[in-house]
Amino acid sequence: MKLEDKVAIITGAAQGIGAALAVGFAQEGAKLVIADILDGKRAVADVEKAGSEAIFVKTDVTKQEECDALAKAAVARFGNIDILVNNAAIFGDIVMKPFTDVSDEEWDRLMAVNVKGPFHCCKSVFSYMKNKGGKIINISSASIMEGVPFMPHYVASKGAIMAFTRALARELGDHKINVNSIAPGFTHSEGGDRFDHNKAVPIPPLEELQLEQRCIKRAAVPEDLVGTAVFLASHMSDFISGQLIVHDGGMSMH
Ligand SMILES: NC(=O)c1ccc[n+]([C@@H]2O[C@H](COP(=O)([O-])OP(=O)(O)OC[C@H]3O[C@@H](n4cnc5c(N)ncnc54)[C@H](O)[C@@H]3O)[C@@H](O)[C@H]2O)c1
């Protein structure tokens, strides 16, 4: 197993991509800490069904003290933190609309979750990782490659995640902490499906727009991301840091 006895925190793992990554990590032997503002009971049960152990720690990533408590709870239960996946984000509730209609409040709230959240979580796990190494995986979005319109705050937040990944990778390399990011294209998660039915501009479903441009012309599901995340969380990627792996069926190439 590729993650035997590793301890992984995944934020936003009560549902969607985070929950699929939790099960995928569990199947590789990892112990999971599920963090979310939503109830994580179902995700914990799914990890247990997959043959591993998990705890749920209710966490709002916009609050540094809650992220610190998350890291403490992980160490109290499992003794260590090896892997952090910064996956929590505002996505499903976004309404696509002209940029002039995005309010300051919407912009600030989204940045607080999507950008400041990962910053908080990295700070919280650092003291536990710094002497022994670790893996940090930040979930960005393929929308930064395409420049998807009508959601400028979201696309800007995910571009910031790519840049944050690079800066942190440089700073943490000497601590044997690898920092990488994954950029999914449109994926059928709970959030993804809600998002694609909720638009204030007359554009077709994103999947319809993206399918034709993919090399691999099929719908994407959260489980598609498991292999890449396991790779980045495991020793197999020990010499890779600061990278962005685009995960959109070959729609954009970089
Ligand atoms: N599904 C897609 O098409 C797609 C495409 C590109 C990138 N992504 C990214 O993948 C990640 C997962 O998205 P998803 O599709 O599973 O969406 P989702 O909405 O199903 O899951 C996001 C999770 O984050 C949690 N969350 C939101 N705010 C939080 C907060 N303040 N603190 C803690 N948790 C919080 C939500 O409760 C939810 O469980 C996100 O970073 C998203 O931006 C998704």
Please name each of the domains of the chain with its CATH number.
7-247 (3.40.50.720)
Q: Give the residue-averaged pLDDT of 89-93.
A: 97
Which amino acid is located at 73 in the chain?
A: A
Pocket probe for ligand 1: among 91, 106, 138, 139, the residue whose CB has the most ligand atoms within 8 Å is: 91
- Ligand 1 centroid distance, CA of 128 (Å): 25
Q: Give the residue-averaged pLDDT of 213-218.
A: 96
Rounded CA-CA distance 88/114 in Å is 7
pLDDT for the residue 198: 84
Measured CA to CA in angstroms, residue 236 lies from 8, 33, 108 at distances of: 16, 22, 37
Q: Give the residue-averaged pLDDT of 212-222.
A: 96
Q: Give the residue-averaged pLDDT of 14-41.
A: 98
- Quick check: 38 pLDDT over 90? yes
Nearest-atom number in ligand 1 for the CA of 88 is: 24
Residues carrying an active site annotation: 154
pTM: 0.98
88 lines ligand 1 (CB under 6 A): yes
Q: What are the backbone angles phi and psi of residue 12, rounded to the nearest 5°?
A: 65, 35
Max Cα-Cα span within the chain: 52
Task: Identify whether the C-beta of residue 22 lies closer than 8 Å to the C-beta of residue 45.
Answer: no
pLDDT class for 39, splitting at 50, 70, 90? very high
Q: Which residue has the least CA distance to atom 19 on ligand 1?
A: 191
pLDDT class for 166, splitting at 50, 70, 90? very high
